[in-house]
Structure 1
């Protein structure tokens, strides 16, 4: 036992040293440069209706900083203590996330229409759809980006396009580049931008006017690392290479997350997530100070917290007020 523990400790040591080094650099940056930005002190009086609170007639879709969650439907996934710590990225239900102000969801499915994270499956996609519809029935002016993809290594659920259209029906905002220049009020009463990303390479892109949006309409650059500064700077670099949100005709997501790496024995999601939480506002502030705050659009996190949501809403308010 002693030899095994020592071996594990030796394997982790370089990663722990590097992680501590990177955390210190980020903490120093936060202390010296600060993590404030225009409207960073804004806190919505009602997160459940924050789009309405900012005036849906003034909020253009391409000016919103969408608070998002990564692997959104992983609450209750796996077996507690045994597999859940390795697969759970959110502790709140989809409905509760939306009530907290989340407006961009990342849903993974497998062949049997169950949500999943990697090989670990959970509840039916019906639960997600039910939560989305319940939330929308209780609000009037909130719009949601609902991205659903077939998880890597899984087969596409059969006839899933038809299922989504049947379930969401009149709530769907149809694919159209003109949507980006419209206000929330101009899109109502339709409420859901549903992006469906099947794994089948032969799946044709969705034509304009179709109820579901194509995979190319929501893009990101996933950085596979468990090192905070590496992720932070890589995200900034890749974001800086994007066109401004006001001119591009697709959504672009940045994920304020870290990815567990088995080689470093950093296999439990939540401690890594908590490490990155403290740098979310710093990331937005650095976008401003480095001159590309106009690029940020969807900003996602694991184990979402209210302060993360408030930061995104504050940034959105700054854009509406012409401060950013």
Structure 2
């Protein structure tokens, strides 16, 4: 028992030390980066407010959400706090400016996060289609994967094609160098990541798993995650040289051996440092590698940081 408490004390010290390291770095670092003062007047249509004929797919800093469809997961006040990473519906996330969705499904096509389940994926698709019907020039990256430990929903690729067919941008490497204006009226890049079923092939309406990559590590230590994100970002090719999307997630994850198991207080150890990460990636020379930037509990400030940096790229300020 004494060993257990000793480990917990050391763990709390490590968390405190790492939070202080990020806080001190933020205090001594300028918060200004190209586009940092940008504030969108219309986040629902933010791509439309930029120069669509100049905005190439590989230039966009895509604001994304981690475990996007968890707003109603589990049982309220009982299991939900342990798995909920977003408080807004998919539709409201899109209206707020989110453009990359991370959806996990199980065999019966219900959204899940580990062993906890939520609504049927139809809710996600209907929210996406509602948003698309109300906008004209917003491109969405919709990543759907079979959750670890589950089998693929039967004929799920057919389901996605039937539901989103008119909007789907087909799998094609040339898409990365195209502008948003050139892709319209097609508006959804749907990456389907099955566990056992065949991957979508070149030319398919859906995109295969290799087109959306990340280097996720399972930690609740914020500075450890911050520096891991930076290290893996540094190892990527510039966005203009690669034919896949690369995601950085400004998140940390509750650990089973730690007393704090609810998502929000844990992920809040790193959430305030989203702009710091952007600033540090620029100062360390990695700004040309940033692409998808995701978070838990997305907010308007996070979205504005991504839009501002995107606009700076278009204007040649980055």
TM-score (norm 1): 0.96
Whole-Å separation in 1 of the counterparts to 2:133 and 2:7: 51
Deviation at 1:272, TM superposition (A): 1.7
8 A contact 1:228–1:258 mirrored in 2 = yes
Deviations 1:37-61 (A, max 9, x none): 1010101110000000012212100
How many pairs does the alignment contain?
318
RMSD, aligned α-carbons: 1.3
Question: Counterparts of 1:8 and 1:51 in 2: how far apart (Å)?
Answer: 51
Aligned to 2:252: 258
Report Cα offsets for 1:199-221 as digits up to 9, x if no partner: 11xx4442221100000010000
Residue aligned with 2:240, SS: coil
1:23-42 alignment, distance < 5 Å: 23-42=19-38
- Using the alignment, how far apart are the partners of 2:71 and 2:3 within structure 1? 33
Instruction: Answer yes or no: is the 8 Å Cα contact 2:38–2:308 preserved in 1.
Output: yes
Q: Is the 8 A contact 1:171 1:191 kept in 2?
A: yes
Tell me which residue corresponds to 1:173.
169
1:278 is aligned to 2:272 = yes
| 1:250-275 Cα shifts (integer Å, max 9, x gaps) | 00000000011011223110012222
Runs of 4+ in 1 over 3 A off after TM superposition: 6-11
Q: Is the 8 A contact 1:35 1:284 kept in 2?
A: no
Distance 1:84 1:224 in 2: 20
Secondary structure in 1 aligned to 2:223? Answer: helix
Written as runs of structure 1 = structure 2, the 5 A alignment for 1:29-178 is: 29-178=25-174
* Preserved CA contact (<8 Å) 1:240 1:295: yes
CA distance in 1, matches of 2:77, 2:231: 37
Does 1:187 find its partner at 2:179? no
Which residue of 231, 240, 245 corresponds with 1:246? Answer: 240
Equivalent runs, 1:8-19 vs 2, <5 Å: 10-19=6-15
Stretches of structure 1 that go unaligned for 5 or more consecutive residues are: none
Alpha-carbon separation, structure 2, partners of 1:9 and 1:50:
50
Q: Is the 8 A contact 1:273 1:303 kept in 2?
A: no
Name which of structure 1's ranges 209-218 and 272-281 shifts more when overlaid on structure 2.
272-281
After TM superposition, list the pairs within 5 Å mapping 1:311-322 onto structure 2.
Answer: 311-322=305-316
Deviations 1:121-148 (A, max 9, x none): 1000000000000001000000000000
Q: Unaligned regions of 5+ residues in structure 2, if any?
A: none
Tell me the distance in 1 between the aligned counterparts of 2:71 and 2:238. Answer: 34
1:140-193 superposed Cα distances (whole Å, 9 cap, x missing partner): 000000000000001100000000000001100000000000000100000100
Q: Distance in 2 between matches of 1:276 and 1:34?
A: 18
User: Cα offset for 1:28?
Assistant: 1.1
Shift of 1:246: 1.2
Tell whether 2:213 aligns with 1:237.
no
Compute the TM-score of the two structures, normalised by the length of structure 2: 0.97
Preserved CA contact (<8 Å) 2:192 2:200: no
Distance 1:169 1:195 in 2: 13
